[in-house]
Structure 1
């Protein structure tokens, strides 16, 4: 009976019994008959919108825990009155088991999205759509499939590789077999390369704001190559994004997170949300605000004491990483002194906005920003050989926007002097930590650069020393700094 239950879930996840939520056009959910659907451009556009939809739940619900709280950037505020958030504390302290529902939800969301993309790509050739429309649809589905696999392989390592529509129980059993991570990366690269050739540089209609573009695919593919230490292959992709002249840095860093300026000139890809009782809102401010923040000046409504609040709280390590005069700090954090504990407890400002209904704000979540492209290119150039020049140029463009002085070789200020390749690596790591704070990059950056164990081991010492004065830390906290999450129990059962 257990296997039958899991098979039903995985069949549903891969689209055998799926509805299509119009993610970008924000239309009502529609159930279609698969025998008369997937025929027209409009139907395939609706199906593609349905492939974007799981990303809303992923970023609302689990990604910030696995991608940011797992790192030294954020932690949690202990709530002695409500212990129903134990699953999140376990992730933060590297003590989650293979039945952790947050981890399982991340895994399931990824494969739900992959399944929808497989249906689109499998049925598209028979539809005989106009070439331009078919390319745009295929490009989006290829990107989304690659994006989900890229997130999953970095989190779990060896995972199932499924590239066709699941149509039977027998197919469901077959897809439960893990594939080596190297082969997953091969598939990711193939999909991303194809997406680059098919996606438009931009969309003529404002209604298509938020869809992935050629630049989105180039940025992701560059990050994939960087993860594989293939910096020479990443450089032309990043230069192509810059040469497209589609993107530019916002003059004001805070504009990247202003709900009145969404999908702005710096946005390469962001998860779209809409305020209202339509199931399309974001709830970041509710989740990331301390549970003992009792004023309503931030949210517009009273924050109650429950397990919904107090997560993804900035750590002292991150706060210390900001240089004096860095204007990103005030744009990223709200100062707060805990009513319960009395110590400073800043919380994330990037996703703060007032809304009429609790838990349904319009704050988008950035995935790729143009500043990220500059920092990735600077890193790649340095890895090809420390020589100054463009590497410093792109690093300092990001610093200048933050109100900081340039770093350079032989600078009279020791804090600004970067004299060798290793020092430049440190400068890039620091800049990425503060520039992209709370955007789910930090844990992946630590993994990619091989610094995760060392950084998190040192971080653990400081965290435990700080927290012991306020609450009891589980004895197993940080005892095993794992680089991969445990494979979800339910999925593992399908292999047997």
Structure 2
């Protein structure tokens, strides 16, 4: 196990010292150090590791950190056309409102996201404050200039990440707290009336300029220049600064191994973590005592149900629309128009009576992109090394959220020992990739298409598709579970066609990894896509109802508890009005 993961384990006592508890607006001042308590190099290093600790979205414990999951499955996927909340209507019912875009400021998923990521910000600020005081002191126990700059760059990268995650959910105007603000009273006076994007950019640019391509301390879980360049490029992409983003992506691509040499499955294999395809990942680990607060607690609800080897909790179910989007045409290309791939939809055994379900067999003549069966569990098809997925027996409420389950968050049974919490195997030590190399390829393709370099855009999209074509098809009794076909695009005839292909490819490659809703918003197509999707999906599952998606629904309300605590300083955003 990588050293950075090992360091995270003993931090529970440190968390108690540095934690912001329920929210930064109601805590005692942090990072106030007297002359008699000057920090040491060890203290600064520990503070930095504590700052890394919030990348998994969890302050402490295991239950309750779902909306702050680094996978962003709730805000990034359930809010989109890719997934349903799953489980049953009554369980975690406020999540239903996120799916239906009827979120009130009192929704209990909002403060978890807000508090946990502001906790990450405060830990970064604490690290920066301690570092500056140490380096300015006369003590002999100090960092070299190179070491100090690396620590500063890592802390600023992490701070940028935490703020970026929050701006995607709550909008760009949220309170910006940096290391110069050390008192709760001062933090409470910071309004949310300024776009903080330039501050995020400033931190990421510092990281790009001061990190190297080698991991700090040779620890795989730390951020490096690849991560910084990719993240700054992503920020520019969101700002539509395509000409500034593209060189950053190209640099990462040129220095990394070719994507086709890195198997698609490595991204979701606990034995292949932190490989060349992982750019920035939340490091997850099961503690030596078997506890799971440093594990993937954000995704634990997506554990299966009923007679499944992991029987909790049945959330996060792929939509029928997503599954049908994996259909391919006679040329092995995606069917770009939803009205076409929705014709004669594949719905597995949904809607069949008991007798019909008993005799159900998979239609192995359907033409699918092979990534479908590495992304979605569908009845009759092998699920990892668990055996054949039986459908209803592993699903909590089929009529509510459909016949499919997600695969990317779960590990093989053979890897359970040491990588899951005994008796609570839905908590695993599987890393969550926040940015991976295929994502960089597709972001580069998008920037190229937007700047009319269609040849480069085509090449990068086809790199992703060529890698996917190497996936071995799943088999049922020795025969392919589908007609697996995936071919490269012969050309991009126009910018508009290129963008349609790139948007589709991002959905197929990165499905259920937390990108989809944010992509729809930044492309300006969220309303069209989500309303069209709901009109299709509601015919099959009760979780989907007709909704009217407004411009304000592109973000979510600031938690009402934070508005109240601020005494009028914080103003509610458009989503909460």
TM range (shorter): 0.7 to 0.9
Contact (CA 8 Å) 1:201, 1:214: kept in 2 or not? yes
The corresponding residue for 1:382 is 449
**2 CA distance for matches of 1:204 and 1:189?**
22
Residue 19 of structure 1: aligned partner: none
| Deviation, structure 1 residue 455 | 0.8
Q: CA shift at 1:38, angstroms? A: 6.5
Instruction: Summarize the alignment of residues 217-256 of structure 1 with structure 2, pairs less than 5 Å apart.
Output: 217-245=228-256, 248-249=259-260, 251-256=262-267
**Cα drift, residue 37 of structure 1:** 6.4
TM-score (norm 2): 0.72
Structure 2 CA distance, aligned partners of 1:282 and 1:246? Answer: 28
1:88 is matched with which residue: 67, 72, 95? 95
The answer on whether the counterparts of 1:231 and 1:384 sit within 8 Å (CA) in structure 2 is yes
CA shift, 1:349, in A, is 0.9
- Deviation, 1:321, is 1.4
Give the structure 1 partner of residue 325 of structure 2.
321
Q: 1:277 to 1:450 in 2, by over 3 A?
A: same
The alpha carbon displacement at 1:244 in A equals: 2.7
Q: CA deviation at 1:23?
A: 6.0
Q: Is the 8 A contact 1:68 1:443 kept in 2?
A: yes
- Shifted more, 343-352 versus 440-449: the winner is 343-352
CA shift, 1:310, in A, is 2.7
CA distance in 2, matches of 1:95, 1:266: 37
1:26 and 2:8 aligned: yes
RMSD: 2.5
Q: What does residue 400 of structure 1 align with?
A: 466
| Alpha carbons 1:250, 1:256 under 8 Å: kept | no
* Deviation (angstroms), 1:448: 1.3
What secondary structure is seen at the aligned counterpart in 1 of 2:275? coil
Decide which moves more: 314-323 or 24-33.
Answer: 24-33
Could you tell me how far apart the structure 1 residues matched to 2:5 and 2:66 are? 17
1:92-241 correspondence to structure 2 within 5 Å = 92-128=99-135, 129-157=143-171, 158-175=173-190, 177-181=191-195, 184-203=196-215, 208-241=219-252
Preserved contact between residue 273 and residue 282 of structure 1 (Cα < 8 Å): yes
Q: TM-score, normalised by structure 1?
A: 0.84
**Cα separation, 2, equivalents of 1:114 and 1:250:** 36
Unmatched segments (≥5 aa) in structure 2: 19-32, 59-63, 136-142, 329-366, 380-390, 470-485, 569-577
Pairs aligned (count): 446
Q: How does 1:303-342 map to 2 (within 5 A)?
A: 303=311, 309-322=313-326, 323=328, 324-336=367-379, 337-339=391-393, 340-341=397-398
CA deviation after TM superposition for structure 1 residue 60, in Å:
5.5
The answer to whether 1:443 aligns with 2:454 is no
1:61 correspondence with 2:128 = no
8 A contact 2:303–2:410 mirrored in 1: no
Q: What is the aligned partner in structure 2 of residue 18 from structure 1?
A: none
Q: CA deviation at 1:54?
A: 1.8
Q: Report the CA distance shift for 1:180/1:435 in structure 2 as closer, same or farther (over 3 A).
A: same
Q: Show the counterpart of 1:415.
A: none
Alignment match of 2:275 (pick from 259, 264, 267) = 264
Listed one character per residue, the Cα deviations across residues 18-76 of structure 1 (whole Å, up to 9, x for unaligned) are xxxx8662331234695576733332221111112122235952132111111111113
* Aligned mate of 2:403, from 342, 345, 358: 345
The alignment partner of 1:27 has SS state of helix
Tell me the distance in 2 between the aligned counterparts of 1:465 and 1:480. Answer: 22
> Counterpart in 1 of 2:495?
421
Q: Distance in 1 between matches of 2:324 and 2:98?
A: 23
Name 1:5's counterpart in structure 2. Answer: none
Does structure 2 conserve the Cα–Cα contact (< 8 Å) formed by 1:73 and 1:317? yes
Q: CA deviation at 1:164?
A: 2.6
Deviations 1:382-403 (A, max 9, x none): 1111x43221111100000111
Question: Which stretch has the larger CA shift, 321-330 or 217-226?
Answer: 321-330
Question: Residue 202 of structure 1: CA displacement?
Answer: 1.8
1:349-360 to structure 2, matched below 5 A, reads 349-353=407-411, 354=416, 355=420, 356-358=422-424, 359-360=426-427
Alpha-carbon distance change, 479 to 369 in structure 1, aligned in 2, over 3 angstroms: closer
Q: Counterpart in 2 of 1:3? A: none
Higher CA-based Rg: 2
Offset of residue 332 of structure 1: 1.3
Question: Which runs of 5 or more structure 1 residues have no equivalent in the other structure?
Answer: 1-21, 410-417
The 1:246/1:395 distance shift into structure 2, 3 A limit, reads: closer
Deviation at 1:346, TM superposition (A): 1.7
**Cα offset, 1:246, TM superposition:** 6.4
3-state SS in 1 of match to 2:488:
coil
The 1:61/1:78 distance shift into structure 2, 3 A limit, reads closer
The one of 286, 295, 299 equivalent to 1:281 is 295
The separation in 1 between residues aligned to 2:56 and 2:501, in whole angstroms, is 33
**DSSP-derived class of the 2:9 partner:** coil
Q: Residues 479, 235 of structure 1: CA spacing in aligned structure 2 closer, same or farther, 3 A cutoff?
A: closer
The 2-side partners of 1:112 and 1:123 are apart by: 17
SS in 2 for 1:270: strand
